[in-house]
């Protein structure tokens, strides 16, 4: 079999705190994350020409700087270094992009992680999840979360992962008509944005909050308008460092009724949170991808 087609799921940050900055400039974070059943589709076709290529239904993401290209090239390097028995490392990767770009839903990191997990198997690299996560961290701080595939408390620069099992709930997600650069938002962090590190029990029991929300609102006032609109129905907050706003609903019907009334310029969807990544749920039923 030379073709593989699998989901690349989104995530939501139930909470997100900035706890400091390292001397190398990287920020320490503390966040609680679940997956949602909303995803891109990654289609991988192996070839024998040893060329790694990319295409997508969204043309502007197709470049050598795309995280999936970086992921595939890094994995190829590690496979060759470890003298993999695989002879060919050519692959064409097609991304059917559903997750909005710059939304805070982790689409790019998820894409990279999905590619690493699939290619590790089909290229017979034989790396463990721990090893793949180390490669993923070189690409982005969210990548290891998607590699391990379980809801978690993520700390440090994304290198500390503590799996948690939380109640799976329905969410309405509003997508404002803007994209927000994670790099730009991180450059706006100041020491007065820092929060104190919480123990895990307190972190999970307190009302969730996102330290980046005030930073994003200051740069993009339109986000405050959408948060205010959604909050008239249920408490709403930002996810990640992007533009998406989400709110917990008691059931699917309520979530859809809120979505039906969304502002005209906004897009949105309803999704259920998942403790196990939809990708990893499929892995359990496909022998070739067993981890």
Note whether 193 and 18 are within 8 A (CB). yes
CA distance 105 to 121: 26
| CA distance to 44, 72, 76, 79, per residue, from 83 (Å) | 23, 16, 10, 6
- Say which DSSP state 150 is in: B
CA of residue 36 relative to chain centroid, distance: 10
Note whether 54 and 96 are within 8 A (CB). no
- The catalytically annotated residue of 11, 70, 76, 274 is 11
Q: What are the residues facing 210 on neighbouring strands?
A: 16
Tokens 């009724």 appear where?
Answer: 257
Q: List the helix and strand counts (H, then E) for the chain.
A: 10, 10
- The catalytically annotated residue of 70, 142, 211, 274 is 142
CA distance 229 to 263: 8
E strand or H helix that includes residue 77: helix 67-81
| CA distance to 121, 241, 245, per residue, from 146 (Å) | 16, 17, 21
Strand 52-56 relative to strand 27-47: parallel, antiparallel, unpaired? unpaired
Q: Does residue 11 have an active-site annotation?
A: yes
| The two structure tokens encoding residue 196 | 């104190």
Note whether 173 and 44 are within 8 A (CB). no
Catalytic residue set: 11, 142
């Amino acid at each position: 079999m030379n073709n593989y087609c699998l989901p690349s799921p989104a995530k939501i940050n139930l909470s997100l705190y900035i706890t400091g900055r390292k001397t190398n400039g990287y920020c320490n974070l503390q966040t609680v994350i679940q997956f949602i059943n909303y995803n891109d589709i990654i289609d991988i076709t192996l070839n024998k020409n040893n060329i790694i290529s990319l295409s997508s239904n969204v043309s502007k993401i197709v470049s050598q700087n795309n995280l999936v290209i970086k992921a595939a090239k890094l994995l190829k390097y590690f496979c060759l270094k470890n003298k993999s028995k695989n002879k060919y490392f050519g692959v064409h990767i097609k991304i059917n992009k559903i997750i909005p770009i710059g939304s805070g839903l982790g689409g790019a990191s998820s894409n990279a992680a999905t590619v690493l997990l699939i290619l590790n198997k089909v290229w017979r690299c034989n790396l463990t999840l721990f090893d793949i996560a180390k490669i993923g961290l070189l690409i982005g701080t969210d990548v290891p979360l998607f590699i391990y595939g379980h809801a978690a408390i993520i700390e440090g620069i994304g290198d500390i992962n503590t799996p948690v099992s939380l109640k799976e709930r329905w969410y309405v997600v509003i997508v404002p008509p803007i994209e927000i650069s994670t790099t730009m938002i991180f450059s706006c962090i100041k020491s007065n944005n820092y929060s104190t590190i919480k123990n895990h029990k307190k972190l999970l029991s307190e009302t969730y909050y996102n330290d980046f929300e005030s930073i994003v609102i200051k740069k993009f006032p339109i986000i405050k308008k959408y948060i205010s609109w959604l909050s008239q129905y249920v408490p709403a907050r930002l996810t990640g460092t992007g533009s998406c706003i989400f709110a917990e609903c008691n059931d699917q019907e309520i979530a859809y009724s809120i979505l039906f009334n969304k502002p005209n310029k906004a897009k949105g969807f309803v999704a259920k949170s998942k403790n196990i990544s939809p990708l990893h749920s499929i892995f359990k039923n496909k022998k070739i991808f067993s981890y």
